[in-house]
């Protein structure tokens, strides 16, 4: 069983020895190692079974530290950093040589963020290096928002879990880059596009034409098949199977109550975001269901990020498979 606790000194010692420590953040738990040490970073990729072409995000506790690792800080990046850090925003910069190529999957850019979690900020303050930390789950599985989720993914080879309780925001950081000061959103996340646009004006989104690292077909997915669409129609299609239901705000009469999870009774998108991954873990662990059905939420503010994760985690079925 992986050791867990709130011992920052122990976590820091293990990281200095190039070990791996699961760290809490406000978004999801990360699987952290020394971002400047290729062996530590290699261990992260191996343990997660993550392809080497999917770069890692580096975490530290101050803008001053980040400046040492990047070639320059675009004006708009600095404005966002000052406004939203510590917080659920990741910014991509041109990297200095000191960041090993393995951390950035051979790209000349590096992603940085300052997480908003006091125990982790205290740990980062103590460390003479940034932490590379992807989400602490096996590649393509659901990201962890509770310590119990980490145990579901890994049984050993992590030196410590720094226990920060449940993550308060619940889905990953929003990722942004700047090309000649032109902002581009790479991944929707816990910071809304609306909040970013209030500060720096209009932003563009990555699309399938300019494919970016980390945009895999299947992501954040439970083992059970998840179908997104109209709940009544999906129920009709699958009614001969044992159905689990992930519902935004209400229970449905036609499915056993114990096989339903509600994301937010008050239709609060913030609460739904916080509960999304833990609801997926719970449904995936239920012994008496075969598949999960759900529907999209309103496509505004955090709803866009929830819908993005639902699309990515849903089962990509062959059109002939269901009629």
Binding site for ligand TXA (CB under 6 A): 25, 27-28, 30, 54-57, 90, 92, 104, 107, 109-111, 113, 115, 133-135, 172-173, 175, 186-187, 212-214
Question: For residue 285, what are the β-bridge partners?
Answer: none
61 binds, among Mg ion, ligand TXA, none (CB under 5 to 8 A by kind): none
The partner in contact with residue 90, picked from Mg ion, ligand TXA, none with C-beta cut-offs of 5 to 8 angstroms by kind, is ligand TXA
Nearest-approach distance from CB 135 to Mg ion, in angstroms: 3
Nearby residues of 159 by Cβ (< 8 Å), 6 or more positions away: 2, 3, 14, 17, 19, 20, 21
Q: Which residue do the tokens 């062996």 mark?
A: 39
In angstroms, what is the C-alpha Rg of the chain?
A: 20
Among 12, 135, 247, 273, contact with Mg ion (rule: CB under 5 A): 135
Using the minimum distance from each CB to ligand TXA, give the nearer residue, 38 or 249.
38
d(CA 30, CA 132): 9
The residues, ordered by sequence, that sit 6+ positions from 148 with a Cβ below 8 Å of its Cβ are none
Peptide bond into 86 cis (omega under 30): yes
Q: Which is nearer to ligand TXA, 19 or 189 (CB)?
A: 189
Residue 206 Cβ vs Mg ion, minimum distance, rounded to whole Å? 16
> Residues 120, 69: contact at Cβ < 8 Å?
no
Give the integer Cα–Cα distance in Å for 222 and 295. Answer: 16
Closer CB to ligand TXA, 151 or 238, in the complex: 151
From the list ligand TXA, Mg ion, none, partner contacted by residue 175 (C-beta under 5 to 8 A by kind): ligand TXA
Residue 144's binding partner, choosing from ligand TXA, Mg ion, none, with beta-carbon cut-off 5 to 8 A by kind?
none
Q: Which is nearer to ligand TXA, 56 or 263 (CB)?
A: 56
Smallest distance from ligand TXA to CB 179, Å: 12
With b for 16 or more beta-carbon neighbours within 10 A and e for fewer, the 286-303 pattern comes to: eeebebbbbbebeeeebb
Residue with tokens 């816990």, as numbered in its chain: 190
Contacts of 65 (CB under 8 A, 6+ apart): 130
Query: For ligand TXA, which is the closer residue by CB, 32 or 234?
Result: 32
Question: Which CB sits closer to Mg ion, 34 or 135?
Answer: 135
The listed partner (ligand TXA, Mg ion, none) that binds 242, CB under 5 to 8 Å by sort, is none
Backbone angles phi, psi at 281, to 5 degrees: -60, -45
Nearer to Mg ion, 25 or 264 (CB): 25
Query: Shortest approach of Mg ion to residue 293 CB, angstroms?
Result: 24
Q: How far apart are CA 277 and CA 28, in angstroms?
A: 9
Residue 160's SS3 state is strand
C-alpha 155/C-alpha 132 separation (Å) is 21
Three-state DSSP at 161 gives: strand
132 binds, among Mg ion, ligand TXA, none (CB under 5 to 8 A by kind): none
Q: What mask, x for binding Mg ion by CB under 5 A, covers residues 147 to 186?
A: ----------------------------------------
For Mg ion, give the closer residue by CB, 134 or 244.
Answer: 134
Q: Which of Mg ion, ligand TXA, none does residue 231 bind to, with CB < 5 to 8 Å depending on kind?
A: none
Residues in contact with Mg ion by the rule CB under 5 A: 135
């Amino acid at each position: 069983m992986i050791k867990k606790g709130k011992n920052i000194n122990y976590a820091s010692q293990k990281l200095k020895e190039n070990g791996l420590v699961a760290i809490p953040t406000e978004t999801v738990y990360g699987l952290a190692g020394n971002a400047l040490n290729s062996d530590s970073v290699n261990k992260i990729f191996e343990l997660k079974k993550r392809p080497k072409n999917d770069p890692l995000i580096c975490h530290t506790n101050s803008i001053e530290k980040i400046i040492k690792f990047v070639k320059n800080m675009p004006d708009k990046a600095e404005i966002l950093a000052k406004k939203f850090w510590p917080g659920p925003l990741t910014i991509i910069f041109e990297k200095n040589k000191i960041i090993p190529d393995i951390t950035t999957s051979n790209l000349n850019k590096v992603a940085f963020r300052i997480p908003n979690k006091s125990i982790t900020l205290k740990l980062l303050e103590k460390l003479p290096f940034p932490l590379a930390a992807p989400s602490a789950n096996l590649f393509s599985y659901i990201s962890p928002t509770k310590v119990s989720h980490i145990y579901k993914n890994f049984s050993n080879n992590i030196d410590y879990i720094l226990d920060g309780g449940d993550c308060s925001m619940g889905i990953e950081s929003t990722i942004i880059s700047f090309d000649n000061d032109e902002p581009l959103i790479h991944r929707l996340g816990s910071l809304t596009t609306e909040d970013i646009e209030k500060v720096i004006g209009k932003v563009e989104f990555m699309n399938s034409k300019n494919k970016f690292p980390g945009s895999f077909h299947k992501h954040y997915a439970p083992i059970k098949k998840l179908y997104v669409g109209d709940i009544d129609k999906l129920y009709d299609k699958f009614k001969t199977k044992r159905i689990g239901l992930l519902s935004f705000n209400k229970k449905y009469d036609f499915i056993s109550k114990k096989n339903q999870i509600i994301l937010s009774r008050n239709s609060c998108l913030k609460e739904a975001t916080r509960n999304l991954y833990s609801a997926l873990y719970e449904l995936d662990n239920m012994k008496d269901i075969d598949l999960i059905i759900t529907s999209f939420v309103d496509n505004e503010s955090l709803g866009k990020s929830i819908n993005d994760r639902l699309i990515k985690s849903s089962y990509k079925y062959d059109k002939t498979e269901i009629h």
